[in-house]
C-alpha cells in the first residue's frame, strides 16, 4: 500500500467501518439514526454493529439485500454466559436478519488456564451460524499478556473464526497497536483467510491509518479489504466525514 493522503485514508476507513452503537441507552430511534448515518454521501460503511434486540428493526429499515451488513453481539460484553445460551442468542440473531456475529470468548476462563472453554464456545457458535461472518472478540485489554493474546488468537482461528477482534469497547483498555501486532502475526502464521478487527478507542483517521500501516507491514500487499479488515467504532465516522468534506475538526478519542 502506498502512503495514503488523509482523504484517501478516510475513504478507505469508511469502507471498512462497522459503525457501532452498543451504548446501554440505545433505543429504536438511535438504530434508525445509525442506519441513516451508515449511508453517507461518500459511500456506505461496511456494516452496523448493534445489540441483538435491535437486529429485526434494523433489517426492516435496511431491507433484505442492503449493502450495509448487520452485525450483532453475543456473549457480550462479559464473555461468561453458558454455551447453550450463547448458541440461542446466535440462532435468534440470524433468524432476525443478522449477517455477522461478533462473539466474546470466555476470557476469564482462559485467564484461569481453561483453553478448552474457548474452543468449545467458538466451535458451537460457528456451527450455529454456518453462513454468517463470525468475528471472535478476545478482549485483549483484559488478557494483557502477549503470550495469552497470541494463544487466544490461535484458539479462535482454529475453532472457525472468520475474524479475530480485539475488544468489546466496554473495558478500560481496548484496541491497541501492540495487541494488533500479535493478532495479525497469528493470522499470518495460520496461513488461513482470517480477518482482523480492532475495536474501541479508534476515533480519528490518523488512528485508523496507524492500523493500516501495521497490517500492511505484517500481511501481504493489498490484504486489507472489507472481507479481511474492519474497524469497530462510532466516533470514527465523524472524523472520516470531516476529512472527506474538507472540515478541519479533530475529534478526541472517545471509544464507543
CA distance 231 to 222: 17
- pLDDT, tens digit (0-9, with 9 covering 90-100), for 230-252: 999 999 999 999 999 998 554 44
Q: What is the residue-wise DSSP string for 19-65?
A: EEE--TT--HHHHHHHHHHTEETTEE-SEEEE-GGGHHHHHHHH-TT
CA distance 129 to 127: 6
The average pLDDT across 119-132 equals: 98
Cβ atoms within 10 A of the Cβ of 252, count?
Answer: 8
The average pLDDT across 90-101 equals: 98
Answer yes or no: is pLDDT of 255 > 50: no
Q: Whole-prediction pTM value?
A: 0.95
Determine the pLDDT at residue 1: 63
- pLDDT, tens digit (0-9, with 9 covering 90-100), for 13-32: 999 999 999 999 999 999 99
Exposure of 127 by Cβ count < 10 A (0-12 exposed, 13-18 middle, 19+ buried)?
A: exposed
For residue 73, give the nearest of 176, 157, 170 by alpha carbon.
170
For residue 109, give the nearest of 162, 168, 169, 151 by alpha carbon.
151
Determine the pLDDT at residue 185: 98
Determine the pLDDT at residue 226: 98
CA distance 63 to 58: 8
Q: Is the peptide bond before 250 cis (omega within 30 degrees of 0)?
A: no
Q: Which amino acids are annotated catalytic?
A: 102, 165, 197
171 to 17, 144, 217, 255: CA distances (angstroms): 21, 12, 28, 10
CA distance 66 to 88: 25
According to DSSP, the β-strands at 39-40 and 43-44 are antiparallel
Could you give all domains of the chain from N- to C-terminal order, each with its CATH number? 6-245 (3.20.20.70)
SS3 83: helix
The average pLDDT across 211-218 equals: 96
Amino acid at each position: 500500500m502506498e502512503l495514503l493522503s488523509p482523504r484517501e485514508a478516510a475513504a478507505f476507513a469508511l469502507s471498512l467501518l462497522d459503525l457501532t452503537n452498543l451504548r446501554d441507552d440505545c433505543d429504536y430511534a438511535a438504530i434508525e439514526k445509525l442506519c441513516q448515518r451508515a449511508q453517507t454521501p461518500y459511500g456506505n460503511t461496511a456494516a452496523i454493529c448493534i445489540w441483538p434486540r435491535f437486529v429485526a428493526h434494523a433489517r426492516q429499515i435496511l431491507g433484505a439485500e442492503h449493502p450495509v451488513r448487520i452485525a450483532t453481539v453475543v456473549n457480550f460484553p462479559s464473555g461468561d454466559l453458558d454455551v447453550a445460551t450463547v448458541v440461542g442468542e446466535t440462532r435468534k440473531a440470524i433468524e432476525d436478519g443478522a449477517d455477522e456475529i461478533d462473539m466474546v470468548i470466555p476470557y476469564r476462563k482462559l485467564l484461569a488456564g481453561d483453553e478448552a472453554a474457548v474452543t468449545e464456545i467458538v466451535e458451537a457458535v460457528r456451527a450455529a451460524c454456518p453462513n454468517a461472518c463470525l468475528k471472535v472478540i478476545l478482549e485483549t485489554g483484559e488478557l494483557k499478556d502477549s503470550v495469552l493474546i497470541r494463544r487466544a488468537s490461535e484458539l479462535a482461528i482454529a475453532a472457525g473464526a472468520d475474524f479475530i477482534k480485539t475488544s468489546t469497547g466496554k473495558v478500560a483498555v481496548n484496541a491497541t497497536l501492540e495487541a494488533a501486532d500479535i493478532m495479525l502475526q497469528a493470522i499470518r502464521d495460520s496461513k488461513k483467510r482470517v480477518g482482523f478487527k480492532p475495536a474501541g478507542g479508534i476515533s480519528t483517521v490518523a488512528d485508523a491509518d496507524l492500523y493500516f500501516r501495521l497490517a500492511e507491514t505484517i500481511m501481504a500487499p493489498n490484504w486489507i479489504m472489507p472481507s479481511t479488515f474492519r474497524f469497530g467504532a462510532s466516533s470514527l465516522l465523524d472524523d472520516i466525514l470531516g476529512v472527506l468534506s474538507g472540515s478541519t475538526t479533530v475529534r478526541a478519542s472517545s471509544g464507543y
